[in-house]
Amino acid sequence: NRAGARPQEAMPVDTATTSGRAKKILIVDDDAVIIKTTSAKLRSHGYQVAGALDAAEAVSAIRDDRPDLILLDLSFPPDVAHGGGVDWDGFKIMSWFQRMDLARNIPIIVITGGDPARYKARSLSTGAVAFFNKPIHHDELLTAIAQVLRGEDGQVTPGGA
């Protein structure tokens, strides 16, 4: 693990708990700054947070932390450290999660700097429950996370779009 990739857990608050247990969110993004800033916002609202900088770390976090929800970026550099240049992207990672017993039922919210016209429909049809473009509007993201974790059906559309 790289420094800052696995933020520490926070004390739960009512909006982020079920049966007294704080909900866990895994952030998968190759940008440590995005992981750190988003983690801080989520922890301040009572969520437990884990971070992963690549697909291998994400799989480990799913096994170790059993998240209730995943925030997933779509763009990743080639995975040089784990297999010599494997071209991972968020869609391949989503597909991999869907084949894992521990991950197949974990809702995924896509957060990306990629072009929404190019990626939003594909993200939602691939299994994401919501799509957010960077820069992230944390209030909208928190609302979407709460809706998903409450089990509200259907895909979440930020900003009414």
Average pLDDT, rounded, for the chain: 83
The Cα diameter of the chain in Å comes to: 44
Contact 67, 21 (CB under 8 A): no
Angle in degrees, CA 67, 159, 44, rounded to 5: 40
For 38-63, how does the pLDDT look when each residue is reduced to its tens digit (9 = 90+)?
Answer: 999 999 999 999 999 988 899 999 99
Helices (H) and strands (E) in the chain, counts: 5, 7
pTM score, two decimals? 0.81
**Positions of the chain with pLDDT lower than 70, given as ranges:** 1-20, 79-87, 153-161
d(CA 92, CA 161): 26
The tokens describing 123, both together, are 């993200």
For 6-17, how does the pLDDT look when each residue is reduced to its tens digit (9 = 90+)?
Answer: 444 433 334 466
